Structure 1
Amino acid sequence: MSVNITFTDAAKKMLTPIVAESGRQLKLKYDTDGCGCLVDGVPALWLVDEADEDDLVVGTNFVPVLLERSRLIFFDETMTIDVKPDTAVFQLKSPRQILNGHMPLVKVGSGDER
């Protein structure tokens, strides 16, 4: 499956200083922690130190984004990362649906707690 991820100008503006200062990578994670089973998860935006073995790199109009190869089925081929109006919360959308309308940025690694 080919994946196309676009960041809105609002998302790029909010993420630019975070990514630049941290030196970390963005990852779209299909997060199943606390959901009960693998099909009951939600897409989450993570800031990680490095790619995992299962990750693939997707080019975007901003910075490359990591995606878990084994979880691609839970994502759409064309997705947009936006900012929820008047908040500091991200949204993951596709032409068909809103995949996560309230997606915080989770910092993982380097001693950060999830």
Structure 2
Amino acid sequence: MNIQITNKAKDMLNELGLKSEKNILLLEYETDGCGCVVNGVSQLVELPEIELTDQDLIIETTPAPFRVAIKKRVEWIYDNNLKIDFSDGANMFQLKSLNEMLNPRMTFKPSAI
């Protein structure tokens, strides 16, 4: 799996203060209230890397120094090549694949630390 972070998304993550040297972006797949695991919603959550567990999988990401992780239990949901972008019009992050728009309004939760 590979995740590309566009320049727009990278600039916004920097503007939001992502501490890429010690934190990681968890591509969280939220299913609460969705009824079924395939109806979940992706969101970006900034976490200290030390909070990752053996249930998390670090994904190859371009460009460095950003790192993204996902939960192993939902890896099957995503395509092999993903793109995290930022929409100025919606003022939101977006998650895309070559085949579809997975989340056109993806939220970002900054780390509390």
Are residue 4 (structure 1) and residue 2 (structure 2) matched?
Answer: yes
* Aligned residue number for residue 55 of structure 1: 56
Gaps of 5+ in 1: none
Cα 1:106/1:4, change in 2 over 3 Å: same
d(CA) in 2 for partners of 1:21, 1:8: 15
**Aligned-pair Cα RMSD in Å:** 2.1
Cα drift, residue 15 of structure 1: 0.6
Deviations 1:34-54 (CA, angstroms, capped at 9, x unpaired): 212323211111112321331
Q: Which runs of 4+ in 1 moved over 3 A?
A: 107-110
Q: TM-score, normalised on structure 2? A: 0.83
The more displaced of 56-65 and 4-13 is: 56-65
Higher normalized strand content (fraction of residues): 2
Following superposition of structure 1 onto structure 2, how do residues 57-96 of structure 1 map, counting pairs within 5 Å? 57-62=58-63, 63-96=66-99
Aligned sequence identity (%):
33
Whether contact under 8 Å (2:90, 2:105) holds in the other structure is no
Q: TM-score, normalised on structure 1? A: 0.82
d(CA) in 1 for partners of 2:53, 2:90: 30
Are residue 98 (structure 1) and residue 101 (structure 2) matched?
Answer: yes
Cα drift, residue 107 of structure 1: 3.5
Q: Aligned letter for 1:7?
A: I
